[in-house]
Structure formats: C-alpha cells, structure tokens
Amino acid sequence: MPFNLRLALRYLFSPNKGSFSSTASWLAIGGLSIGITALMLTASIIHGFKQVISEKLSSFEGQGRIQHILGNQIDLTNPTLDSLIQSYSKSFSPFVRGVCMVRSGAHADGVLIEGIESLPKAISGNPNNKIIPGEIVVGIGLAQELKIEKGDKVFLQVFSSGSSSPFSRKIKPVMVKEVFHSGLQEYDKTLAYIHLDDARDLFGFENNFVSGMILNDANISMIRKEISYPYFYESWRERHALLFEWIDIQRWPAYIMFGLIALVGIVNIIAAIAMIITEKSGQIGILMAQGTQRSTLKSVFMIQGGFIGLMGGTIGGLLSMIIIWAQLKFEILKIPAEIYFMDQIPFSFDYPAFGLILIITFIFCMVASWWPTKVVTALNPAIALGYE
C-alpha cells in the first residue's frame, strides 16, 4: 500500500477514540450525502413527472393523430389517405370525436366522446380490449359527478345543429362498462369512450367517415412527410407543448434550491480538510522534516477529500434509491390529484441525471479538497513543530 494512501486511511479510521479528523470527515460525508440525496430526488421527481405525463398522454392520445385542418370529417376512401392507410394499416385506428351531454337521472354533464374500436392500453391494460356497441367507458371524475357506477345506464344526448329538423336530436342509452382512473383530471373528468359505430350514429357520420386516425406506432416518423394539405399530423407532444415548456421552466429553480444543499455540503468538505490540516500540522511538520515530499502530503488530503466524495456519493445514492424504491413500491407520499396531474409523487430512476450529479459532485469534492492543501505548500516545518 503506498504511503500516502495508508496515511489517509489512518486519518479517516483513526484508532484513537474521538479522533477529530475522522469525526470531521464523517460529518462532511453526512452533509454531502444529504445534498446528493436531495439533488437525486429532485431529478427523479422531474423525470418521473415528465414520464408519467408522457405515458398517460401517449396512451390516451396515441402517438399522434391525423386530422383535417378545419376539423372536418375525413373520408377514408379518399385516394391520398387510402394509400397511406393501406401501407401502414396495422398502426392506424380510426376515431370519431364529438361533444355531447351525458344524463343520469337529474345529473347531467358535458363530455368529450371518443368513438373507437379498441380501448387505450392505459384503461384496459390489454391493447386488444374491444368495446362493443351500447357500452360506454367513463372517467372516475365524471362518474362521481353523475353518481354512476359500473353497470348503470346513462343517456347520451347530442346537441342538434340549428339547421337540422327537430327529429334529428339523438338520444342514445348506453351502459357503463368500466370506470377508468387515469390520474389526469383532464381525462378523468371530461372523457368518455364509446364504440366507433355508436359515435358515427350519434354525431351523424356516414359509414366511411371519421374525425381522424390515431397512430399507435412510434416508429413511423416519415408519416409527417407523406401527409399533405388539407390533412395534418400532430403528435401528443406537440399538442401539449405548453405543459412540457412549463415543466422545463419549473426545473431550474428546483435544481438551484436543492443544489444549495449540496453546495453547503461541499463547503463542509473545504472546512473539514482545512481543519484536519490544521490539526495535523504537527505531524505534517515531522513528516516534512523527515524529507517527505510536499506533493505526497498534499495527496494524502486529496485522497481524504476523494474518499469523502465517494462515500457521500455512495450513501446519498443508496439513500435516494431506497426512497425512490419505497415510494414506487408502497406509494407513501400522496398529492391531491385535482391540483397536480397525478395522485402521488412520481419518482422514477433517471440514471443519466444520477450519473451526472455524482460525477459533478465528485469533481467539486476534488477541487474542494485540493484548495485547502495549498496551505501545506506554505507550511514551514520549523513553525509547524514550534506549535506543539
């Protein structure tokens, strides 16, 4: 074992009970690990929030949608679309969208109806879950407002357009097949799914007409080029661009605030190393008088700083991993779903960010322990020993 490493380890794990240098090192390790935990949890929440939102949005809206630029009905037999649909027939599914009133007894509410052939994965857990005509799947928020449960009967009522005859006003009884809970208020309160044919009937679409196509396969990115006026393609990310912009802006104040904890932790390292050098100046004086290189003595304290960094990183990393794991497993920390978009704090493992945090703090640790060692260079053995 090289000399400087041995000395550094001796300073850290001193056999003397109550040795100052080991106490100070362990306090510095504690501070640093708290800082690292805070930063990692911040990164984890931000990543988790984005991930939860992305997953939910993409599962409810598909990867993207093709629609008419004016929101008109789309004829599926249309030659420009037909060729496209033929070539990727598996990844498209048609939908019909409209607004209508849902009534159950004295309660009524407006909903966004989406007529589809199979339910989104997020609801059924199984991508091929079909919905059959005469059934409706509603969000939990809507179900509570209307006081309905699975198996109840509700009436869908379309607002007739001004021009049509009085007889065109459609009322359709449907049975509640399932109540879904997405955690996103926007969906839970306003969205309901019925079968495509029911929706066509309700909103007066002809057989070959739809509101648009949902694209389920993420890999067809060239689709954007193949679609031309008057149709357009919009991915879920573009649809909710403002939300993601909001998350990105919120990110920086959070990083700065929690970075302050790590910063104070790093300041602790400077103080700890400086104090250890002061405390050991007698020993340093003896070693110098015996002819030890100044650079070797400096490296002793650098090794100590590095050890503090490594230990702090390990403990902090493990601690945050445990917290994240516990939250994912037991869902301890809940948040009100009405205000945020989800009902619990969305932790996730953001390994690139974790790695970055660890690397950056380690670099800072090395700089922080290098700085006070400059004193060693200026130390005069005679004066150092004179203190004793």
Partner 1 sequence: MNWEKKVSKRFSESSRRQVWFSGLFSMIGMGVGCFAMIVSLSVMNGFETLVHSKLKGFEGDLRVSGQVSENDISELDGIEIVMPFMERRGVIEDGNDKRVVSLKAVDVAKMAQFYNLPLRGESPKISEVVIGQDLAYRLGKDVGDEIMVYSPIDQSFGFGLTPKTKMTISGIFSTRILDYDDRFVFLSLHDGKKLFKRKSGLDGIDIRVLKNINISSLKYNLVQKLGDSVAIQTWEDLNRSLVEAMKMERLGTIVILSLIFLVAAFNLAATLSLISVQKIKEVGILKAMGAPTESIQKIIIRMGFNRSGKGAICGFILGILLALVQNKFGWIPIPSDIYFIDALPMVLFPKDLYTVIFISFMFILLASFIAGRKLAHTQIKDALQWAK
Residue number with CB closer to partner 1 (201 or 226): 201
If one asks whether residue 340 binds partner 1 (CB under 8 A), the answer comes out as: yes
Q: CB neighbours of 127 closer than 8 A, spacing ≥ 6?
A: 118, 121
If one asks whether residue 244 binds partner 1 (CB under 8 A), the answer comes out as: no
How far, in Å, CA of 264 to CA of 240, rounded?
38
If one asks whether residue 23 binds partner 1 (CB under 8 A), the answer comes out as: yes
Locate all alpha helices (DSSP H) within 1-139, ordered by sequence: 3-12, 20-61, 79-87, 121-124
Minimum gap (Å) between residue 173 Cβ and partner 1 = 12
Two structure tokens written together for 178: 């399932």
Q: What is the three-class DSSP state of 133? A: coil
Question: Is beta strand 107-116 parallel, antiparallel or unpaired with respect to 191-195?
Answer: parallel
> Residues 69, 222, 242, 378: which binds partner 1 (CB under 8 A)?
242
> Residues 271, 286, 321, 385: which binds partner 1 (CB under 8 A)?
271
If one asks whether residue 331 binds partner 1 (CB under 8 A), the answer comes out as: no
- Which residues partner with 172 through β-bridges? 156
Residue type, 38: A
Minimum gap (Å) between residue 233 Cβ and partner 1 = 21
Residue number with CB closer to partner 1 (60 or 92): 60
If one asks whether residue 264 binds partner 1 (CB under 8 A), the answer comes out as: yes
Are the beta carbons of 364 and 296 closer than 8 angstroms?
A: no
Are the beta carbons of 63 and 235 closer than 8 angstroms?
A: yes
Residue number with CB closer to partner 1 (24 or 122): 24
If one asks whether residue 338 binds partner 1 (CB under 8 A), the answer comes out as: yes
If one asks whether residue 385 binds partner 1 (CB under 8 A), the answer comes out as: no
If one asks whether residue 335 binds partner 1 (CB under 8 A), the answer comes out as: yes
Minimum gap (Å) between residue 330 Cβ and partner 1 = 19
Minimum gap (Å) between residue 112 Cβ and partner 1 = 8
**CA angle in degrees (0–180, nearest 5) for 262-328-319:** 30
Cis omega (within 30 of 0) on the bond before 94?
no
Can you count the helices (H) and strands (E) in the chain?
Answer: 15, 11
Total residues binding partner 1 (CB under 8 A): 57
Residue number with CB closer to partner 1 (63 or 361): 361
> Residues 115, 120, 265, 313: which binds partner 1 (CB under 8 A)?
265
Locate all alpha helices (DSSP H) within 280-350, ordered by sequence: 281-289, 294-330
Q: CB under 8 A: which stretch of 225-233, 321-329, 330-338, 358-366 binds partner 1?
A: 330-338
**CA angle in degrees (0–180, nearest 5) for 166-171-175:** 175
Minimum gap (Å) between residue 253 Cβ and partner 1 = 8
**CA angle in degrees (0–180, nearest 5) for 282-287-289:** 95
Are the beta carbons of 331 and 341 closer than 8 angstroms?
A: no
Minimum gap (Å) between residue 125 Cβ and partner 1 = 28
Residue number with CB closer to partner 1 (132 or 360): 360
If one asks whether residue 379 binds partner 1 (CB under 8 A), the answer comes out as: no
User: Segment 134-173, which members bind partner 1 (CB under 8 A)?
Assistant: 157, 159-162, 166-167, 169, 171
Alpha carbon 321 to its chain centroid, in Å, reads 15
Residue number with CB closer to partner 1 (125 or 162): 162
User: Segment 180-239, which members bind partner 1 (CB under 8 A)?
Assistant: none
Q: Measured on CA atoms in the order 184, 186, 192, 193, is the torsion positive or negative?
A: negative
Q: In this structure, what are the phi and psi dihedrals at residue 53, rounded to the nearest 5 degrees?
A: -60, -45
If one asks whether residue 247 binds partner 1 (CB under 8 A), the answer comes out as: no
Q: Indicate the angle between helix axes 294-330 and 281-289, nearest 10 degrees.
A: 140
> Residues 3, 30, 251, 283: which binds partner 1 (CB under 8 A)?
30
> Residues 27, 140, 310, 366: which binds partner 1 (CB under 8 A)?
27
Q: For residue 338, give Cα distances in angstroms to 94, 135, 248.
A: 31, 27, 21
Q: List residues binding partner 1 (CB under 8 A).
A: 18, 20, 23-24, 27-28, 30-31, 34-35, 38, 71, 99, 101, 103, 108-111, 157, 159-162, 166-167, 169, 171, 242, 245-246, 249, 257-258, 260-261, 263-265, 267-268, 270-272, 274-275, 277-279, 335-336, 338-340, 372, 375, 388
